[in-house]
Amino acid sequence: MQLYHHLFSPSARRVLMAADHLGVALDLVEINLASPDDRRRLEELNANSRIPVLVDGALVLWESCAIMQYLADRTPGQTVYPQDWAARADVNRWMFWTCQHFAPALGVFGWENMMKKMVTGEDADPVELARGARDIARAAAVLDKHLATRRWLVGEAVTLADYAAVAPLMYKEQARLPLDDYPHLLAWFARVRELPAWQRTTPAW
């Protein structure tokens, strides 16, 4: 299986963590998003021009959480994507919530405080940062409250939900994410950072 990715993509990072946890070997193909040739190659696989993309024989699969679920489903004996229907639905719920609410909110800070100057030469927009801060506050409060009485998002052990949700936090310091008021979220983040899958997929800054 080939995974088209970039080392600094949170979406690709969540797939890499899941694959590492599952013991799934992937042939990594790094896409240089600044290269027109690489962009063209990516668009041939994914019309959205986004990474990651998994190629497994005739299957070309994009959307990071779908890739994570596929890798788990084809791994016998795995425990990160529960077989119990209710538990699996709960994992799905947090994965979808991450993609719909948490990651986009964090992404505003990632763009404004990290990438914007490099890509456009422009400084961060205070209006956009204020909007992002409001969205982060709403989402982080939900996550913090949920984690107040548990170590992991679903059940008693790490699942795909944790790997999906934690990936955008790889830029916590660099993007200056406003998360200091959420102690349970930060404690969970500290637990995830102790996991081998996190440590083995951390890029060299």
Could you report the per-residue pLDDT of 134-150, keeping only the tens digit for each?
999 999 999 999 999 99
Q: Right CATH number for 2-73 from 3.30.300.30, 3.30.70.20, 3.20.20.70, 3.40.30.10?
A: 3.40.30.10
CATH number of 85-197: 1.20.1050.10
Task: Check the CA dihedral 23-25-30-33 and report its sign.
Answer: negative
Domain extent listing, the chain: 2-73, 85-197
DSSP codes of every residue in 71-115: HHHTSTT--SS-SSHHHHHHHHHHHHHIIIIIHHHHHHHHIIIII
Helix axes 64-73, 10-22, angle to 10 degrees: 10
Q: Would you state the torsion angle of the CA atoms of residues 166, 101, 125, 174, taken in this order, to the nearest 10 degrees?
A: 0
Q: Which one, of 107, 170, 92, 38, lies nearest residue 50 by Cα?
A: 38
pLDDT in tens, 176-188: 999 999 999 999 9
Q: In angstroms, rounded to a whole number, what is the distance separating the alpha carbons of residues 24 and 12?
A: 15
What pLDDT sits at residue 205? 63
Please, how many CA atoms are within 13 Å of residue 189, restricted to the half-sphere of its CB? 19
Q: In angstroms, rounded to a whole number, what is the distance separating the alpha carbons of residues 140 and 131?
A: 14
What pLDDT sits at residue 8? 87
List, for the chain, all residue ranges whose pLDDT scores fall below the cut of 70: 205
The phi, psi pair for 8, rounded to 5°, reads -105, 15
161, 153 contact by CB (below 8 A): yes
Residue 131: how many CB atoms within 10 A of its CB? 14
